[in-house]
Amino acid sequence: MAAGTTVESMTSATAEGMAAEEFARVADGHRVRIFRFLLASTRDAEMAETLTQETFLKAHRNWSRFRGESSAMTWLMRIAINLQKDHWRNRRLQFWRQTQSNAVDVNEASDWLPSNQASQEQALLAREQVGHVWRAVEGLSERQRTVFLLRFVEEMELSEIAATTGLSEGTVKAHLSRALARVRAELRGKR
Amino acid sequence: MSSELQNGEEMQLEPELSQALGHFKASVHGWSNEVWSNEVWSRTMESRSRAVRPARRRVWRLAVACSLALLMAVGAASGLLYERRQQQVLATMQHEQLLQQQQQMTQQRQQAEEDLLAKVESDISREVPSAMEPLAQLMTTGGTETASANQ
């Protein structure tokens, strides 16, 4: 009986160790992507960092419940989106915190450009375009923005976006369509 | 152009939009990578400087505690001084009131005495002639009778 208990506890410890290892591997593989999505959604590096930490803390707590029905990325992204929603909801209620936001403005966000443009004119044009897209993104609803960023920054498939956001594929398409229309209008408006 | 989203999985975007979205994606990736590497770097630095922080925090706490204690002491002292001053002012006012009351009472007493004296004087000045009148009459009639008797 005692031997059985020892074996059971050893098996359980081994399983826990394996689960922890697996979680660490998954977290390492997806941390940057989750952070990037949260950074693009909030334009606030500190907030993105905090929300990323919260996402992985929550995921760690619930890791045993993750059945692998969806991909780990979809599961983690869903947690991140929900935390982000909760955060904005709380922030709206605590109106005096609005002033403490560290979000950078659209122009500052457009500063980051890879230096693979052939000429200075091209770099300037690229920066302008990025600025217009940011302005359009700023005007989107929370859901449209999420769908847009998942599609065009994270390059997720429509089915993945639907699984992540809990929306139907049709709704995802509709949101993307509206978001693109806005980006288009913003790009045309520059002329 | 939005119809491609409703009808098919593949999105055919016009070149300019496609280019803008490509730049946007590259920009967000670049930004995120830079911030992420800075975050990792700053976290490393933070863990290094963590040992220094508590001492600094302790000094700050001590300074804040001292300032608060000083403020409280000054507040208490000025409160006491204010209280004392108020008591002095109150005592002076009470003393002045008492003096005024005494003065009023003295004045009233003097007034009453003067009134009484005036009344007595007026009574006397009015009573004496009327009391003396029969005597005067008597004297007048007595004088006449004596004169006629003498005649």
**Chain B neighbours among A 125-144 (CB < 8 Å)?**
126, 129-130, 132-134
The SS3 of residue A165 is: helix
**How far is the C-alpha of A23 from the C-alpha of B21, rounded, in Å?**
33
The CA–CA distances, whole Å, from B21 to A19, A185, B68, B109 equal 39, 14, 57, 107
With 0-12 / 13-18 / 19 or more C-beta atoms within 10 angstroms meaning exposed / middle / buried, residue B104 is exposed
Does B32 contact A184 at a Cβ distance shorter than 8 Å? no
Q: Which of A89-98, A112-121, A127-136, B80-89 has the lowest mean pLDDT?
A: A89-98
Question: Helices in B8-52 by DSSP H: which ranges?
Answer: 15-49
Nearest CA in chain A to B22: A152
Average pLDDT taken over every residue of chain B: 78
> What's the rounded mean pLDDT across residues A12-25?
73
pLDDT digits (tens, 9 = 90+) for B93-140: 999 999 999 999 999 999 999 999 888 888 776 655 666 777 767 776
Q: What is the pLDDT of residue A174?
A: 95
Res. B32: pLDDT tops 80: yes
**Does A40 lie at the interface with B, CB-CB under 8 angstroms?**
yes
Reference A146, options A82, A64, A76; nearest CA is A82
Nearest CA in chain B to A137: B24
